[in-house]
Amino acid sequence: MKAVYYDGKDAFYREDYPVPKAGEQESLVQILLSAVCNTDKEVLKGYKPDFTGVMGHEFVGKVITSSDPSLVGKRVVGELNEECGHCIYCKTGRPHHCSNRRVIGLSGRDGCFAEYMTIATRLLHVVPDSLPTQIAIFTEPLAAALEILNQVHVRPDLNAAVIGDGRLALFVAQALALNGIDLTVIGRHPEKLENFSHFARTVTQGEKEGYELVVDATGSPSGLADAMNYVRKKGTIVIKSTYAGNASINMSQAVVNELTIVGSRCGPFEPALKLLETGRVQLPPIQLYDLKDFREAFSSPAFKAGFSF
Ligand SMILES: [Zn+2]
Ligand SMILES: [Zn+2]
């Protein structure tokens, strides 16, 4: 089958990759649509040096075979993290942090930049019939944005800022805007900030110590330093960016100002599906590429690039 394979250093398009076979408690999924995430680009820059395999973790697929026969033929999305079920994190309600977890397209498990993929059946979520595939593809990144609401008490009267004007920021800002908070989006590109203008205030320069909650959604190391500038004393910074390399910040500023710094990763799928189905979160259309043109897709200026099969 066709696949984009990462060998630990670079990615290659192949047509000879074997179609996987589903194991016990697994499903074989035919990929209908998969999408490129910033994390995939970071993999190419060395973010996951130990990983080899098929790349990609955002997909909508059709179940071909499954340990749960009622899923066969259904359209599904799937969670990335396959937990072991018996480590300290699994036993204490933190399966996303399982010490032995495998993550599709990122760690120990082939991903979805291929015609077929296998996945633990329990990680699948059925896509509602009324939700088009090209919108359901946003489930995973929206779920990750919703994780902030699981972690931080976002009061409706809170004054918050999102730093960044790209994809990640658009998911995060819409998730935060759902409860009517006073939201400012701080970006560098006026043309990208347009995407936010119907639900948030948009600026190219934030206010120093201007916000109780600041979310770094820049996807780059500079975001954290900016967040430290914009957050009020005793305020909260949520970091959504993941990148290869380190951020350099003055940590005593966090101590002296008693900041709360929260890292934030994967989130709940079912609420994300519901928000997309009801149209309460809306996103620009995905731009589709042929799998063999994956490099073009990775550098696409589109809001979201992906592959249809
Ligand atoms: Zn992603
Ligand atoms: Zn575990």
Q: What average pLDDT does the structure give for the chain?
A: 95
> What is the distance in A from the centroid of ligand 2 to the CA of 103?
12
The pTM (predicted TM-score) of the whole model is 0.92
The ligand placed nearest to the CA atom of residue 98 is 2
> What is the distance in A from the centroid of ligand 1 to the CA of 66?
24
pLDDT of residue 248: 86
Q: Are 36 and 298 in contact (CB under 8 A)?
A: yes
> What is the distance in A from the centroid of ligand 1 to the CA of 83?
18
**66-77 residue pLDDT tens:** 999 999 999 999
> What is the distance in A from the centroid of ligand 1 to the CA of 58?
6
Q: What is the helix, strand, coil percentage profile of the chain, to 5?
A: 30, 30, 40
> What is the distance in A from the centroid of ligand 2 to the CA of 67?
21
The ligand placed nearest to the CA atom of residue 88 is 2
pLDDT of residue 226: 96
User: Which H or E run contains 232?
Assistant: strand 231-239
In eight-state DSSP terms, residue 127 is P
Q: Are 93 and 41 in contact (CB under 8 A)?
A: no
pLDDT of residue 10: 95
pLDDT of residue 131: 98
Residues of the chain with CATH 3.40.50.720: 143-263
> What is the distance in A from the centroid of ligand 1 to the CA of 210?
30
pLDDT of residue 296: 97
> What is the distance in A from the centroid of ligand 1 to the CA of 47?
14
d(C-alpha 164, C-alpha 91), whole Å: 36
> What is the distance in A from the centroid of ligand 1 to the CA of 67?
26
The ligand placed nearest to the CA atom of residue 100 is 2
> What is the distance in A from the centroid of ligand 2 to the CA of 231?
35
pLDDT of residue 243: 79
Which residues keep their CB under 5 angstroms from ion ligand 1?
37
**198-208 residue pLDDT tens:** 999 999 999 99
Please name which of 14, 13, 43 lies closest in space to residue 105, comparing C-alpha atoms: 43
> What is the distance in A from the centroid of ligand 1 to the CA of 266?
9
pLDDT of residue 241: 87
> What is the distance in A from the centroid of ligand 2 to the CA of 147?
20
pLDDT of residue 128: 97
The arrangement of secondary structure in 3-138+283-308, i.e. its CATH architecture, is Alpha-Beta Complex (3.90)
d(C-alpha 5, C-alpha 53), whole Å: 5
> What is the distance in A from the centroid of ligand 2 to the CA of 96?
8
Superfamily of domain 143-263: NAD(P)-binding Rossmann-like Domain (3.40.50.720)
> What is the distance in A from the centroid of ligand 2 to the CA of 122?
15
The ligand placed nearest to the CA atom of residue 168 is 1
b/e map 182-192, b = 16+ CB within 10 Å:
ebbbbbeeeeb
Which residue numbers in the chain have pLDDT < 70?
Answer: none
* Contacts (Cβ under 8 Å, ≥6 apart) of 301: none
